[in-house]
Amino acid sequence: MDVFAVLLSLIAIVMAFIALQRTGGVKDLHRQIDVLSSKTEDVAKGARETTADALRRLEQLIRGREGQSPDDTDKPSTPPEPGARP
């Protein structure tokens, strides 16, 4: 009975290998993994850019620099004149 079980398991392994080869084999699996990983990277990049843009806008709203250009944010503001009220 043990010999029969081993024989059936070997036949099952061979049939599984043949089925894998007919569906494209290991090369096809690697290609599909590459395609999916590149799509995932594109989506993640887009999400990062969208999040960064939203955080940049939020920072401008909080700091009150909505009307200023991004170039002006790097420059230090001029000090008020002596005797002027804030």
Read off the pLDDT of residues 35-85 as tens digits, 9 standing for 90 and up: 999 999 989 998 999 999 999 999 999 988 655 555 555 555 565 666 656
| pTM exceeds 0.75 | no
80: left (phi over 0), alpha (psi -120 to 50) or beta: beta
Could you tell me the sign of the dihedral formed by the alpha carbons of 42, 46, 51, 56, in that order?
positive
Is pLDDT larger for residue 10 or for residue 75?
10
CA dihedral 61, 67, 57, 53 (to 10 degrees): -170
What is the spatial distance between Cα 51 and Cα 85, in angstroms, rounded to a whole number? Answer: 38
